[in-house]
Amino acid sequence: MSALSVEGLRVVVGRGRRSFPAVDDVTLSVPPGKVLGLVGESGSGKSTLARAVVGLHPIQAGRLTINGEDVTGLRGASRVNRLRAVQMIFQDTYGSLNPRMTIAQIVSEGIRRSESVRRADMRAELIRLLGLVSLDERHLDRYPRELSGGQRQRVAIARVLATGAPVVIADEITSALDVSVQAQVLNLLREIVQNNDLSMLFISHNLAVVNFICDSVAVMHSGRIVETAPTPQLFGDPRHPYTRALLAAVPSLRVRAGDRAEWISIGEPIDPHLPPTGCRFHPQCPIGPLFFPERVECTTVDPRIGAADRPHGSACHFAAEIDQPIREER
């Protein structure tokens, strides 16, 4: 049983003629006690998916399951109570932490929601929670503006831990932090996941970060999942051209630009209002019909058909033929 799963999820954004499915028939699951990474370029639908899961965006179609319970059809208080089992750590700590509240007030909100701590024990629990994120009692009476970016992100993590939620969604939580602070937060997060038996959907465009913290990875492009695999397999043997393009675009001191150039995507990202037929990546694909005109199925057949029988469940008609490694050294 998955801690969190979505099946055939569809989420539409915009209004009228400007509307389009930012999440289009997405299926994925987060196993208990594991971290699933969700990667893709900006605008691929990652954050929209996350916001839909926690109830911040309406779901037009599909099924959402939390700890084996289908919550899709629930409404009102029942839905709110079930969704509390999934908590989100946002990218923007300035926006997600109330600037008029002290750290003690912010974290205690989560404790009160869990209703598991008596008022007399509140301060002791606050100190315990801050200790889990390497902060101490001195920070309780401070305001968010008095903390560094890394400290604010730790407070956001502590607030989520305070709720006792078994499933956490982390949305680009290290993107605004310095590299050294990123490492501190990631080490802390990995330790917390292991020690508290949490399940996590970790959203990021930083592939190095995903490789470090995630047990498995799902790759999202234009609102769809195009490849899913355990982290070592996906990074060591990616089977979708888009995944290859993402990996090839990562700068490396050990790799000459020419070694990766053939896998970098071409042209501009597609217009989500007018997606192409067949594979949505084919206008940019380095092994697609632009270079191999005989591959007409790329433009006519949805590559998700039959994906389960291909390596890594890849939504590419030629996934089994992709065997050239992206070289890391010469």
Looking at the DSSP assignment, which residues form a beta bridge with residue 28?
6
Q: What is the edge-to-edge ordering of all strands in the sheet holding 86-89?
A: 86-89, 167-171, 199-203, 35-39, 216-221, 224-230
How does residue 261 score in pLDDT terms, banded at 50, 70 and 90? low
pTM of the model: 0.90
CATH numbers and ranges of domains, the chain:
1-85+166-231 (3.40.50.300), 97-156 (no CATH), 237-321 (no CATH)
Rounded-to-integer distance, Cα 118 and Cα 173, Å: 31
- pLDDT score for 329: 41
How does pLDDT run across 210-228, given as a tens digit for each residue? 999 999 999 999 999 999 9
Rounded-to-integer distance, Cα 272 and Cα 107, Å: 39
Q: Which of 246, 55, 23, 71 is nearest to 169 (CA)?
A: 55
Which of 49-63, 134-148, 311-325 is predicted least confidently?
A: 311-325
3-state secondary structure of 214: coil
**The residue count for the chain:** 330
Rounded-to-integer distance, Cα 254 and Cα 19, Å: 43
How does pLDDT run across 286-320, given as a tens digit for each residue? 889 988 999 999 999 999 999 999 999 999 999 98
Average pLDDT over all residues of the chain: 88
